Amino acid sequence: MKTDFLKINSKLGIKYIVLLFAIFFGFSVQSQKLAFVDTDYILKRIPAYEAAQEQLNTASAGWQKEVEALYQEVSEMYKKYQTESVFLSNEMKVKQENLIVEKEKEAKKLQQKYFGSEGELFKKREMLIKPIQDDIYAAISVISTEEGYGAVFDKASNVGVIFADPKLDISDDVLKQMGITQ
């Protein structure tokens, strides 16, 4: 009988805790102002971003040509090896195969140097784009503080924003805060 009473009390206690949590959470969510920005929209209107993208594209294209040329060299070496392998001794075959493998490793190493996670493209993007992103974040922070926004979502990144009221879009305010006019 005593255990039945404890079970009932613990169930009621849990229900009360859940109810209090829901009420508290409901009030705290209602008191937060929300807004969203469209970083794609903002970035397209920043001249420095367009210039940075052009520099990245130019550098990337040059590096890609360099990597492709090395892979083309590997391909030609392999084709030559295939046609000549009939006439080569085992020792010469092994030597040619090793040369091809070394050239392919060189091509992969160059590709990693330019396009790897810590490669030249990453470093150049970090150098050119990060300051622009930092400026956008700073402008969003100022506006959020001034307007009392509890959260600002990025519409461009599709982080679960299904609908956004255009009245809550502060993208133009961010551009204005950054001193960019349209």
Q: Does position 126 have pLDDT exceeding 90, yes or no?
A: yes
d(CA 154, CA 39): 6
Residue 134 near residue 120 (C-beta atoms within 8 A): no
The confidence score (pLDDT) of residue 20 equals 43
Residue 169 token pair = 């879009």
Residue 14 token pair = 């849990």
User: Which residue, chain included where needed, has tokens 């392919």?
Assistant: 104
Phi, psi of 155 (to 5 degrees): -65, -30
Residue 157 token pair = 């990144």
- The distance from CA 63 to its chain's CA centroid, rounded to whole angstroms, is 21
Which tens digit of pLDDT belongs to each residue from 75-113? 999 999 999 999 999 999 999 999 999 999 999 999 999
Taken in order 84, 86, 91, 95, the sign of the CA dihedral is positive
Residue 177 token pair = 């805060």
Taking CA atoms, 173 is separated from 64, 152, 182, in Å, by 39, 13, 12
Could you tell me which residues are beta bridge partners of residue 153? Answer: 36
Residue 114 token pair = 């330019």
The confidence score (pLDDT) of residue 164 equals 61
Give the range with max mean pLDDT: 15-19, 109-113, 178-182: 109-113
